[in-house]
């Protein structure tokens, strides 16, 4: 998270908008050459479907060039998304209920724009995606963390927090959650918890922003229905839902989407100032997705990431058993979340790990203000090569054991 550096002088301070004071660019993970990078949730770069995307690009440019090089939303991609929701989740929504966005980052920014005034309060998981924290900081919002466990966000804690705020005359505008293969903890909320969270949103007249970034990347078992689908079935209208093509296709295409109740979406798209998101990439993605190519590609990705998850869990078992370090085994997504034994600080440990040749994200990078993340480490297995996983975990384990000693 880019922390606002109010102290550093800027030549244009007297001209800047208040929200720009201290603003700094969001860190996008730049992998280092020398180190084994468990740091970033970047998609595997060898898996981008180069040939099929090249063919889809050529076909779309030649057959549909006048459309894709023109202003406008990528209508064929929106149609693909609606069709997928209907086929895969039995959820039928109107075209006016979705907007294609420049990654889900823009989707979250738009939700912030349409719902948040400076000083507003939102709730989120105590450990969460740092990109979203960056967006909420730029929206001048107060982000209140809510306790989680291995099953994700705890609805009773959400309700307790809402009541606590209510006593101070504060109503949170929405609850930002990543209920499935959560970043950074890898946890997935049960259906029971999802239903309880919806009840809470309804009871206290608030909304839920469901970030479903790791959609499709399930390694085993049934993935619970999304909050969006459950909300749709119950006709509550409490959920805004965003997804991305970054993890299942190519992050550089900058494609994502947001869906929600019609009345909210009309305002949200009213604040979207860009003349249509990336029609070039959007139409190409839609051509590529035809004939089940994207669905089949996701199945290939699942095999790759499942294998890496298994390699990482096996390496953790081998090198860290008996040290007091604990971790989860995620059922999908990109992340394993380590808890260090009492007294170890993941920030202090990092330079030593880097010296040993391995990089990770310390828990302090993924927490809203007021949460102490120093006992935690996020390991991502998405971007490393299979053969780097064991040596990387071995190097990390050696560093941890030395610090324990």
Ligand X SMILES: Cc1ncc(COP(=O)(O)O)c(C=O)c1O
Rounded Cα distance between 204 and 215, Å, is: 28
Residues 182-211, one symbol each (x = binds ligand X by CB under 6 A, - = not), give -x---------------------------x
129 binds ligand X per the rule CB under 6 A: yes
- Supply the minimum distance, in Å, between the C-beta of residue 330 and ligand X: 13
Q: Is 372 exposed, middle or buried (0-12, 13-18, 19+ CB in 10 A)?
A: exposed
DSSP structure class, residue 23: -
Residue of the chain from 37, 39, 41, 175 that contacts ligand X (CB under 6 A): 41
Residue pair 154/132 in contact by the 8 Å Cβ criterion: no
- 217 vs 312, beta carbon nearer ligand X: 217
- Supply the minimum distance, in Å, between the C-beta of residue 245 and ligand X: 7
Residue pair 185/329 in contact by the 8 Å Cβ criterion: no
Number of residues that bind ligand X (CB under 6 A): 14
Residue pair 208/179 in contact by the 8 Å Cβ criterion: no
**Token couple for 322:** 């008996």
- 161 vs 243, beta carbon nearer ligand X: 243
Rounded Cα distance between 178 and 88, Å, is: 19
Distances in whole angstroms, Cα of residue 356 to Cα of each of 125, 167, 291, 350, 359: 32, 50, 46, 10, 9
251 binds ligand X per the rule CB under 6 A: yes
Between residue 253 and residue 312, which ones bind ligand X under the rule CB under 6 A?
Answer: 256
Residues 78-117, one symbol each (x = binds ligand X by CB under 6 A, - = not), give -------------------------xxx------------
- Supply the minimum distance, in Å, between the C-beta of residue 128 and ligand X: 8
- 120 vs 211, beta carbon nearer ligand X: 211
- Supply the minimum distance, in Å, between the C-beta of residue 106 and ligand X: 7
Q: What's the maximum distance between 2 C-alpha atoms anywhere in the chain?
A: 66
229 binds ligand X per the rule CB under 6 A: no
Residue of the chain from 81, 178, 196, 227 that contacts ligand X (CB under 6 A): 178
Residue pair 283/77 in contact by the 8 Å Cβ criterion: yes
- Supply the minimum distance, in Å, between the C-beta of residue 104 and ligand X: 4
Distances in whole angstroms, Cα of residue 103 to Cα of each of 70, 117, 211, 355: 20, 23, 12, 34
Residue pair 119/142 in contact by the 8 Å Cβ criterion: yes
Residue of the chain from 60, 91, 177, 246 that contacts ligand X (CB under 6 A): 246
**Which residue matches tokens 């020398």?**
34
- Supply the minimum distance, in Å, between the C-beta of residue 99 and ligand X: 13
- 107 vs 356, beta carbon nearer ligand X: 107
- Supply the minimum distance, in Å, between the C-beta of residue 246 and ligand X: 3
Residue pair 239/228 in contact by the 8 Å Cβ criterion: yes
Residue pair 384/44 in contact by the 8 Å Cβ criterion: no
Please report, as ranges, the residues that interact with ligand X according to CB under 6 A: 41, 103-105, 129, 131, 178, 183, 211, 213, 244, 246, 251, 256
């Amino acid at each position: 998270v880019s922390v606002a550096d109010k102290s550093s002088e800027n030549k244009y301070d007297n001209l800047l908008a208040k929200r720009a004071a201290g603003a700094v660019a969001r860190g996008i993970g730049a992998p280092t050459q020398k180190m084994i990078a468990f740091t970033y949730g970047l998609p595997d770069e060898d898996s981008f479907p180069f040939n099929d995307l090249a063919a889809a690009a050529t076909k779309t440019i030649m057959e549909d060039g006048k459309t894709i090089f023109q202003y406008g939303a990528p209508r064929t991609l929106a149609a693909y998304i609606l069709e997928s929701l209907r086929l895969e989740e039995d959820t039928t929504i109107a075209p006016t209920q979705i907007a294609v966005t420049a990654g889900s980052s823009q989707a979250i920014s738009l939700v912030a724009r349409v719902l948040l005034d400076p000083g507003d309060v939102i709730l989120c998981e105590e450990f969460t995606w740092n990109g979203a924290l960056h967006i909420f900081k730029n929206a001048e919002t107060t982000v209140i963390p809510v306790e989680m466990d291995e099953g994700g966000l705890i609805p009773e804690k959400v309700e307790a927090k809402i009541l606590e705020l209510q006593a101070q005359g504060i109503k949170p505008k929405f609850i930002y959650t990543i209920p499935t293969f959560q970043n950074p903890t890898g946890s997935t909320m049960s259906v029971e918890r999802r239903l309880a969270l919806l009840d809470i949103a309804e009871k206290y007249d608030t909304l839920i922003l469901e970030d479903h970034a790791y959609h499709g990347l399930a390694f085993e078992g049934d993935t619970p229905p999304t909050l969006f689908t459950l909300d749709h079935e119950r006709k509550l209208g409490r959920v805004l839902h965003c997804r991305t093509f970054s993890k299942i296709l190519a992050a550089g295409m900058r494609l994502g989407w947001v869906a929600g109740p019609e009345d909210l979406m009309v305002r949200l798209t009213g604040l979207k100032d860009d003349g249509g998101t990336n029609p070039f990439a959007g139409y190409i993605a839609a051509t590529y997705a035809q004939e089940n190519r994207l669905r089949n590609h996701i199945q290939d990705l699942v095999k790759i990431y499942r294998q890496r998850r298994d390699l990482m869990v096996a390496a953790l078992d081998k090198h860290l058993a008996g040290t007091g370090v604990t971790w989860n085994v995620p059922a999908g997504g990109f992340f394993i979340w380590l808890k260090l034994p009492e007294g170890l600080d993941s920030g202090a440990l990092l330079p030593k790990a880097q010296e040993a040749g391995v990089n990770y994200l310390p828990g302090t990078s993924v927490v809203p203000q007021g949460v102490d993340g120093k006992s935690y480490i996020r390991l991502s297995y998405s971007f490393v090569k299979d053969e780097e996983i064991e040596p990387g975990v071995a190097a990390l384990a050696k560093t941890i054991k030395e610090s324990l000693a």
